Amino acid sequence: MWDASKCDLCGDCLVKCLYVDYDKDKAVADIKALMEGKEADILHKCITCCACSEYCPTGADPFDLILKMLEKTRAFPVAQEMIGFFEGAFAIPNELIPGDPDKPVFSLCIMEHWLPDRALDSQLFNGLTVVKGGEYFCLLGYVHLGLESPIEKKAQEFIDKLASLGKDIVFLHDDCYAMVNAKVKDYGITVPFNYMHLFEYLRNYLRDHQSSITKLGKKVAYHRPCASRYTPEKDAFLDEIFELIGVERPPRKYERETALCCAASIILVYPEFAAEVQAKNVNDAIECGADAIITLCPMCDRALRRPTTQYGLRKIFITNLCRMALGEEPWPELAA
Ligand code: SF4
Ligand code: SF4
């Protein structure tokens, strides 16, 4: 949540923004204007990647300030298709597939549809109870429409729905984890259940089944979703996963704090800029010597299908990568 008392007007948030070219004076002028509730140039350039809050050294949460001003001014150009997607999402029927009573619930929210083939068809998920459907969807993605109020409106309902399961939860979708682990605190909501990110779950499984792993011996880049700006600490789980499955993460320009957005939120409104961002991201992964790029968010996975095919890089969803190490699927050929 934006905390003006923590802002010392250093300007780092917007100087580091990868989508504008601001010097310190310009950055400070924009932040000052926003703090005073006024229009600022950044509202017309922001692509809602949430990164500035991670860049802020004092924890003032500048993206929250930008988001509130985006909602107030409606400066972000939202495609009607995106509004329709979110409005329709909550109406997707819920489903509960029971698993072993002593194993956690795996929440897919509404993301199953965007997963690549066989992403969940694995021993990794044996015995988990599975829930999916609109009421398990956190709506955090509304930030990519420059809106926060719909998230807050449904936040308590979302937590109550998960709490009603009476079990520990593993989240497939990075957004849902970010919502539960970070965003609901802004709304004063307490989370009354234990939960875990997919990375932690996969790390635990692989650590417990090391004799089933054949090390892959590959170099793999990671495309980090924007929701991870709320929970950057879990990158350490991915490093452990890579070590367990024999994958090297070659250093590259656009990763960890300097990760680029998949550009899904701007494909419809700024298509040329979106293509430029995607090209930078994929080509950077190629230039660092990666044999593939992995995704964590099903929406990012979908958004990166075209550019990875276009530039000739394998794109693999994280669970498919783990399946390869477990001998459940082969290393993929490059898409033609
Ligand atoms: S949310 Fe992303 S694009 Fe928007 S100002 Fe912050 S860093 Fe820049
Ligand atoms: S919000 Fe944070 S990074 Fe931005 S000017 Fe204030 S203190 Fe600096």
Mean pLDDT of all residues belonging to the chain: 96
Tell which of 172, 200, 228 closes a domain: 200
**Residue 27, ligand 1, Cβ within 6 A:** no
223-262 per-position pLDDT tens digit:
999 999 999 999 999 999 999 999 999 999 999 999 999 9
Residue 39 burial (C-beta neighbours within 10 Å; 0-12, 13-18, 19+):
middle
**Residue 48, ligand 1, Cβ within 6 A:** yes
What is the rounded CA–CA span in Å between residue 89 and residue 161? 15
Confirm whether 332 is domain-assigned: no
Ligand 2 atom nearest residue 6's Cα: 7
**Residue 52, ligand 1, Cβ within 6 A:** yes
Ligand 2 pocket residues where CB is under 6 Å? 7-13, 31, 56, 58, 60, 62
Mark whether 231 and 173 lie in a shared domain: no
253: containing domain: 211-325
Confirm whether 286 is domain-assigned: yes
Tell which of 200, 226, 247 closes a domain: 200
Contacts of 84-91 spanning 24+ positions with Cβ under 8 A: 86/139, 86/141, 86/142, 86/145, 86/150, 89/134, 89/137, 89/139, 90/134, 90/135, 90/137, 90/139, 90/154, 91/134
Q: Which amino acid is at 318?
A: I
Residue 137: both structure tokens together: 């969807």
Q: From 101, 23, 13, select the one nearest 56 (Cα to Cα).
A: 13
Confirm whether 334 is domain-assigned: no
**Residue 50, ligand 1, Cβ within 6 A:** yes
Other beta carbons within 10 Å of 263: 25
What is the rounded CA–CA span in Å between residue 141 and residue 285? 25
**Cβ contact 181:195 at 8 Å:** yes
Confirm whether 285 is domain-assigned: yes
pLDDT of residue 79: 86
DSSP H or E segment with residue 32: helix 24-35
If one counts the domains in the chain, the total is 3
Ligand 2 centroid to 39 CA: how many Å? 17
Mark whether 243 and 319 lie in a shared domain: yes
Mark whether 266 and 248 lie in a shared domain: yes
pLDDT at 54 over 80: yes
Entry pTM: 0.96
What is the rounded CA–CA span in Å between residue 119 and residue 104? 19
**Cβ contact 91:292 at 8 Å:** no
33-53 per-position pLDDT tens digit:
999 999 999 999 999 999 999
Mark whether 219 and 302 lie in a shared domain: yes
Ligand 1, atom 8, residue with closest C-alpha = 17
Ligand 2 centroid to 8 CA: how many Å? 6
SS3 state at 42: helix
pLDDT of residue 198: 98
Confirm whether 112 is domain-assigned: yes
Ligand 2 centroid to 34 CA: how many Å? 12
183-227 per-position pLDDT tens digit:
999 999 999 999 999 999 999 999 999 999 999 999 999 999 999
Mark whether 108 and 59 lie in a shared domain: no
- Taking residues 3-19, what's their average pLDDT? 98
58-82 per-position pLDDT tens digit:
999 999 999 999 999 999 998 888 8
Tell which of 73, 100, 129 closes a domain: 73
Confirm whether 330 is domain-assigned: no
Confirm whether 280 is domain-assigned: yes
Ligand 1 mutation pick, 16, 34, 42, max ligand atoms within 8 A of CB: 42
Confirm whether 335 is domain-assigned: no
Mark whether 255 and 216 lie in a shared domain: yes
Mark whether 196 and 89 lie in a shared domain: yes
Ligand 1 centroid to 200 CA: how many Å? 28
Ligand 2 centroid to 199 CA: how many Å? 30
Q: What is the CATH number of the domain that holds 179?
A: 1.20.1050
pLDDT of residue 225: 97
Q: What is the CATH number of the domain that holds 263?
A: 3.40.50.1860
Mark whether 239 and 220 lie in a shared domain: yes
Mark whether 128 and 38 lie in a shared domain: no
pLDDT of residue 336: 63
102-140 per-position pLDDT tens digit:
999 999 999 999 999 999 999 999 999 999 999 999 999
Handedness of CA 44, 47, 49, 55 (dihedral sign): negative
Give the dihedral of Cα atoms 97, 121, 82, 221; nearest 10 deg. Answer: 140
pLDDT of residue 334: 84
SS3 state at 131: strand
Residue 141: both structure tokens together: 């993605």
Mark whether 30 and 130 lie in a shared domain: no
Mark whether 93 and 126 lie in a shared domain: yes
* Ligand lying closest to the C-alpha of residue 277: 1
Mark whether 133 and 92 lie in a shared domain: yes
